[in-house]
A and B are shown apart, each in its own frame.
Chain A
Amino acid sequence: MAIGVTQEPDQVTEAIRVSVPDKGLRQDLRAIGIVWRRELIRFRSDRLRAITSLVQPVLFLFVLGTGLSSLASHGLPSGVDFKTFIYPGVLSMSVLFTAIFSAASIVWDREFGFLREMLVAPVSRSAIVIGKCLGGATVATFQGIVILALAGFAHVPYDPVLFLILIGELLLLAFTLTAFGVMMAARIKQIQAFMALTQMLVMPLFFLSGALYPLNGLPAWLTVLTRLDPLTYIVDPMRQAVFSHLNLPPETMAVLSPGITWGSWHVPVGVSLGIVAAMGATLLGIAIMEFQKTE
Chain B
Amino acid sequence: MTEPAVLVDGLVKRYGEVEAVRGIGFEVAPGETFGFLGPNGAGKSTTIKILCTLANPTSGTARVAGYDVVKNRDTVRRNIGLVFQDTTLDSYLTGEQNLRFHADLYGVPRAQLPQRMRQVLEMVGLWDRRQAVVATYSGGMKRRLEIARGLLHAPRVLFLDEPTVGLDPQTRSSIWEYINDLKQREDITIFLTTHYMDEAENCDRIAIIDHGKIVAIDTPEQLKASVGKDRVQIATADDPAAIQEIKDRFAIDAAMHEGMVTFNVESGEQFVPRLFAELTAQIKAVSVSRPSLDDVFMSYTGKTIRDAEATAGDRNRAHVMAFRRGR
Q: Interface on A for B, CB 8 Å cutoff?
A: 1-5, 7, 11-13, 15-21, 23, 26-27, 30-31, 33-34, 38, 41-42, 45-46, 109-110, 112-114, 116-123, 189, 294-295
Chain B contacts for A122, CB-based, 8 A: 74-75, 77-78, 105-107
A38 touches B93 (CB 8 A): yes
A294 touches B56 (CB 8 A): yes
Kindly state the separation between the CA atoms of A33 and B154 in the bound complex, as whole angstroms.
22
Number of interface residues of B (CB under 8 A): 54
Kindly state the separation between the CA atoms of A118 and B187 in the bound complex, as whole angstroms.
25
B119 touches A15 (CB 8 A): yes
Residue from B74, B84, B125, B152 within 8 A of A113 (CB atoms)? B84
Kindly state the separation between the CA atoms of A23 and B177 in the bound complex, as whole angstroms.
34
Chain A contacts for B326, CB-based, 8 A: 295
- Say yes or no: is B92 at the interface (Cβ < 8 Å to chain A): yes
Q: Which residue of B lies closest to A110 (CB)?
A: B327
Kindly state the separation between the CA atoms of A168 and B160 in the bound complex, as whole angstroms.
46
Contact with A along B112-126 (1 / 0, CB 8 A): 100110010010010
Kindly state the separation between the CA atoms of A23 and B52 in the bound complex, as whole angstroms.
17
- Say yes or no: is B104 at the interface (Cβ < 8 Å to chain A): yes
Kindly state the separation between the CA atoms of A11 and B88 in the bound complex, as whole angstroms.
29
A3 touches B107 (CB 8 A): no
Given A7-B122, A117-B101, A121-B105, 14 new contacts (CB under 8 A): A16-B116, A19-B109, A20-B78, A23-B78, A26-B107, A38-B101, A41-B93, A42-B92, A45-B92, A114-B88, A121-B106, A122-B74, A123-B74, A295-B49
B185 touches A294 (CB 8 A): no
A294 touches B84 (CB 8 A): no
Chain A contacts for B77, CB-based, 8 A: 120-122
User: How far is the CB of A190 from the nearest CB of chain B, in Å?
Assistant: 10
Q: Which residue of B lies closest to A115 (CB)?
A: B88
Q: 27 pairs across A/B with beta carbons < 8 Å?
A: A1-B174, A3-B125, A5-B127, A12-B185, A13-B185, A16-B119, A16-B154, A17-B154, A18-B108, A19-B154, A20-B106, A20-B107, A20-B109, A33-B104, A34-B100, A34-B104, A38-B90, A38-B93, A42-B90, A42-B92, A42-B93, A113-B87, A117-B89, A117-B101, A117-B105, A122-B74, A295-B49
A15 touches B107 (CB 8 A): no
Kindly state the separation between the CA atoms of A53 and B115 in the bound complex, as whole angstroms.
41
B105 touches A118 (CB 8 A): yes
Chain A contacts for B74, CB-based, 8 A: 23, 122-123
User: How far is the CB of A22 from the nearest CB of chain B, in Å?
Assistant: 8
Q: Interface on B for A, CB 8 Å cutoff?
A: 49, 52-56, 73-75, 77-78, 82, 84, 86-93, 97, 100-102, 104-109, 112, 115-116, 119, 122, 125, 127-128, 152-154, 170-171, 174, 177, 181, 185-187, 323-324, 326-327
Residue from A17, A19, A41 within 8 A of B97 (CB atoms)? A41
Kindly state the separation between the CA atoms of A34 and B122 in the bound complex, as whole angstroms.
24
User: How far is the CB of A15 from the nearest CB of chain B, in Å?
Assistant: 5
Kindly state the separation between the CA atoms of A253 and B127 in the bound complex, as whole angstroms.
63
Q: Which residue of A lies closest to B103 (CB)?
A: A34
Q: Which residue of B lies closest to A15 (CB)?
A: B186
Chain B contacts for A116, CB-based, 8 A: 54, 84, 88
User: How far is the CB of A119 from the nearest CB of chain B, in Å?
Assistant: 7
Nearest 10 pairs between A and B by C-beta?
A34-B104, A122-B77, A121-B105, A18-B154, A113-B88, A295-B55, A5-B125, A295-B326, A117-B88, A122-B78
Residue from A12, A31, A38, A113 within 8 A of B86 (CB atoms)? A113
User: How far is the CB of B279 from the nearest CB of chain A, in Å?
Assistant: 42
